[in-house]
Amino acid sequence: MKYFFQIDIVTDPPLSDESAAVFWMYEPDGINFENNTTRLFFSELSDQKIESIKVELNLLVDSGVIEKFDLSVAKEEQINWNEEWQKGLKVLKAGTKFAIKPTFVDYEPSEGEIVIEIDPKMSFGTGEHETTQLILGLLEKYGNNRDFVLDAGAGTAILAIGAIKLGSKRAIAFDNDDWCLENGIENVKLNNVQDVVEIRICETKDIPEKDFDLIVANIQRDVLMAIAADLEARQKPGGTLILSGLLINDEEIILPVYESIGYKLIDKAGKNEWISLVFEYTQ
C-alpha cells in the first residue's frame, strides 16, 4: 500500500494566496486551502523539511503576516492528487459580472456575465481568496476602458485579463515567479487576450514603461509598502491605483505611506478580515 504525507497549517488570520506561495519552495506535490487551513501534500517528507516549514511560519509571525499557527502532520493512504484537487475547484463569482471558470469545469454563463477561464496550476489568483474577489469587484467600477494597465504580482494574470475583458486596451502583468510566467501566458491565451496582455517575470523596478492609468496590486502589506515609490513612478497623473492583499488593520499602516507620495484614498471594499483600497494619483 502506498502512502503520502499531509501537513495541515492552521493560521490566524488565514494565509493569503501570495503568502502561501512560499511553501512551493519545499516542493510539495500539491497545496489546498480550506478556510484558515493551508494543506500541503508530500510523497516523501523528512523531519528536516518539517522544521524548515516551521521556521518559515515563524518568519511570517515575526513579520506580522500572521499572529499564530498550528502545524500537524499525518500519514495517509495514497490518492490521485490531481483528481482530489480538482474536485474542490468550481466556478467562482466575483463582483456582479465575473465568473472564474477552471478549464476542466463545464459552465454556461448567464447574460452579461464575464467569464475568465483559468488553468489553475502552481501560480496564485484562481479567485478563491477574498483579496482576488475584492479587487475584481472594484475593477468593474475602475477598470473599464483604461488605456494602459499594470498588474503587479500578477500570479495567474487574472486581474489583467479581467481589466481587458472590461474594455481596457493594453496590460502588462508581471511576477517574480517562474510558474507565474508560464501559467500567465497559458491563461491569456485561454482568454484570447494574448495580443494585448504581456506577461513578464521581473520586479516592479524593472518595468521601463510609465504612465499607467490603472495599476492593480494584490500583494501582502510589507511588499506593497516596499514598492510604493516604484508604483508611483509608473503611475499616470490622475490615474487609479487599487491595492489588495490587505487585512483591515493594515489600512492605518499603509495609508500614510501612499498618501505621502501623492495618492488620495477614494474608495475601499472589504470582505471578512480583508480589504482593498482605491487611490487616485493627484500629482
CATH number of residue 181's parent domain:
3.40.50.150
Q: Both 112 and 37 in a single domain?
A: no
Instruction: For residues 61 and 154, state if they share a domain.
Output: no
CB 156, CB 126: distance < 8 Å: yes
Tell me 16's DSSP state: P
Q: Based on the domain organization, do 161 and 276 belong to the same domain?
A: yes
Lowest mean pLDDT among 127-131, 177-181, 185-189, 239-243: 127-131
> pLDDT at residue 123 above 50?
no
User: Which is it for strands 3-12 and 37-42: parallel, antiparallel or unpaired?
Assistant: antiparallel
Q: Mapping DSSP to helix (H, G, I), strand (E, B) and coil, where does residue 51 land?
A: helix
Say how many residues make up the chain: 283
> How are strands ordered across the β-sheet holding 114-118?
92-94, 98-102, 114-118
Residue where one domain finishes, among candidates 25, 55, 85? 85
Question: What's the mean pLDDT in 232-241?
Answer: 97
Per-residue pLDDT band at 201 (split at 50, 70, 90): very high
pLDDT tens, residue by residue, 59-109 = 999 988 899 999 999 987 765 555 555 565 678 888 899 998 888 788 888
Q: Are 164 and 116 in contact (CB under 8 A)?
A: no
Domain end position, chosen among 85, 111, 138: 85
The three-point CA angle 130-273-97 to 5° equals 30
Of 255, 28, 13, 236, which is closest to residue 131 (Cα–Cα)?
13
Residue entry with cell 474577489: 133
Shared-domain flag, residues 149 and 189: yes
Same domain, 33 and 127: no
What is the span of the domain harbouring residue 152? 89-281
User: Of 63, 85, 107, which one is at a domain's C-terminal end?
Assistant: 85
Buried b (16+ CB within 10 A) or exposed e, 147-182: ebbbbbbbbbbbbbbbbbbbebebbbbbbebebbbe
The pLDDT > 70 percentage for the chain reads 92
Looking at the fold, whether 183 and 94 belong to one and the same domain comes out as yes
**Span 5-48, pLDDT tens digits:** 899 999 999 887 767 878 888 888 778 777 789 988 888 889 99
Report how far residue 163's alpha carbon sits from residue 146's, in angstroms, rounded to the nearest whole number.
8
Whether 181 and 269 map to the same domain: the answer is: yes
Number of compact structural domains in the chain: 2
- What's residue 229's pLDDT? 97
Residues 39 and 155 in one domain: no
Check which CATH number belongs to the domain holding 76 and give it. Answer: 3.30.70.1060
Q: How far apart are CA 256 and CA 282, in angstroms?
A: 15
Does residue 74 sit in the same domain as residue 157? Answer: no
